[in-house]
């Protein structure tokens, strides 16, 4: 049973929105594109892992995707967490192409003549296991075996493990072998450590402690707000800005008419600027001609809000208001 759904990382959505709204020749464009590529690769790896986990009967595991949990003054993030009465399993997805060399003190990634060195993911999942144990101890959760695996998601990726590094040989697996490995762990751990009541308490604890990351994307890339291209983006040809006339938006490039294209613009505002806006703020960002034109559609969105009339502030809803990331950015300025 899925307790926390897999979703695109917020940072990925923010970076894609930023790519749409800076000039193609912006000095930070390549940095933004590189970040998008890395985040998309990681997300695609997690989707591959989910494909196999979806084949497990619902009653066997409670599954969390993208948990971010506090520990002391910082946080740790787990790609995927499985909970059963017998054990807890931490999974970390790696979606690199080329060759991965697992050594005790590092991971070396070689691809297309490039060589990059990263933290050993085996050490990372071991650390997450320790931190999760600390969190459970804090809330007096009964002891239960916690296992961890590193899943290499691309079948074409070459895996090389340092000779004698037995832990990596046991914990680094191919995604298509994930179900087999889980079966082996189930055979090893036969005693039930958690009652259903305890499992329900742990699920509540993890959902309560989960803290989604909030990033000021403009500060992250050191891009001033005035560099953003404001206005409504055409959902067909991606031109910015569309023109507003009589409750609809018209693209001056491809002549598309739309009454809903502005929703993408509001989503970009939330992703790039802040999670709330006043009538004048969103009116300026969407290039609307008057306060009345803005007021005509805002109530229909049913966003959470405070205040009345000119003092009203609208807040980002907890549900997604659109899927901007499905469109390929091709901004013009």
Tens digit of pLDDT for each residue in 294-333?
Answer: 888 888 888 999 998 788 999 998 765 544 333 333 333 3
Of 153, 122, 147, the C-alpha closest to 49 is: 153
Can you tell me the distance from the alpha carbon of 253 to that of 238, in angstroms, rounded to the nearest whole number? 9
Which residues, 6+ apart, have CB-to-CB distance to 152 below 8 Å?
A: 94, 96, 100, 159, 172, 173, 174, 175
Q: Classify domain 229-326 at the CATH topology level.
A: Arc Repressor Mutant, subunit A (1.10.10)
Tens digit of pLDDT for each residue in 22-81?
Answer: 999 999 999 999 999 999 999 999 999 999 999 999 999 999 999 999 998 999 999 999
Which residues, 6+ apart, have CB-to-CB distance to 254 below 8 Å?
A: 234, 236, 237, 239
Report the share of the chain in percent with pLDDT over 70. Answer: 95
Name the token pair of 59.
């009653």
Residue 220: cis peptide before it, omega within 30 degrees of 0 = no
Residue 160's φ and ψ, nearest 5 degrees, are -125, 120
For the chain, the average pLDDT equals 93
Can you tell me the distance from the alpha carbon of 23 to that of 19, in angstroms, rounded to the nearest whole number? 8
What ranges do the domains of the chain cover? 2-209, 229-326
pLDDT (mean) for 161-178: 97
Tens digit of pLDDT for each residue in 251-293?
Answer: 999 999 999 999 999 999 999 999 999 999 999 999 999 888 8
């Amino acid at each position: 049973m899925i307790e926390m759904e897999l979703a695109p990382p917020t940072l990925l959505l923010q970076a894609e929105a930023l790519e749409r709204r800076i000039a193609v020749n912006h000095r930070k464009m390549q940095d933004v594109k590189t970040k998008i590529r890395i985040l998309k690769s990681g997300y695609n790896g997690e989707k591959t892992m989910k494909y196999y986990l979806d084949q497990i009967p619902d009653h066997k595991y409670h599954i969390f995707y993208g948990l971010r949990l506090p520990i002391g003054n910082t946080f740790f993030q787990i790609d995927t967490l499985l909970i059963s009465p017998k054990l807890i399993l931490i999974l970390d997805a790696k979606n690199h192409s080329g060759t991965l060399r697992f050594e005790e003190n590092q991971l070396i990634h070689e691809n297309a003549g490039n060589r990059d060195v990263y933290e050993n993911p085996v050490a990372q999942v071991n650390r997450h296991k320790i931190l999760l144990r600390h969190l459970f101890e804090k809330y007096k959760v009964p002891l239960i075996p916690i296992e961890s695996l590193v899943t290499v998601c691309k079948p074409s990726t070459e895996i090389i493990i340092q000779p004698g590094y037995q832990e990596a040989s046991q914990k680094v697996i191919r995604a298509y072998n994930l179900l087999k490995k889980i079966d082996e762990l189930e055979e090893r751990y036969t005693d039930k450590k958690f009652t259903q009541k305890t499992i329900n308490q742990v699920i509540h604890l993890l959902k309560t402690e989960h803290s989604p990351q909030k990033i000021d994307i403009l500060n992250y890339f050191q891009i001033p707000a005035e560099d953003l291209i404001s206005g409504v983006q055409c959902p067909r040809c991606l031109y910015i800005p569309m023109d507003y006339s009589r409750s609809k938006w018209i693209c001056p490039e491809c002549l598309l008419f739309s009454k809903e294209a502005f929703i993408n613009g509001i989503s970009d505002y939330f992703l790039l600027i802040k999670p709330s806006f006043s009538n004048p703020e969103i009116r300026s960002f969407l290039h609307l001609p008057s306060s009345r034109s803005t007021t005509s559609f805002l109530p229909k969105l049913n966003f959470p809000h405070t205040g009345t009339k000119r003092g009203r502030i609208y807040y980002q809803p907890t549900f997604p208001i659109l899927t901007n990331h499905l469109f390929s950015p091709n901004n013009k300025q």
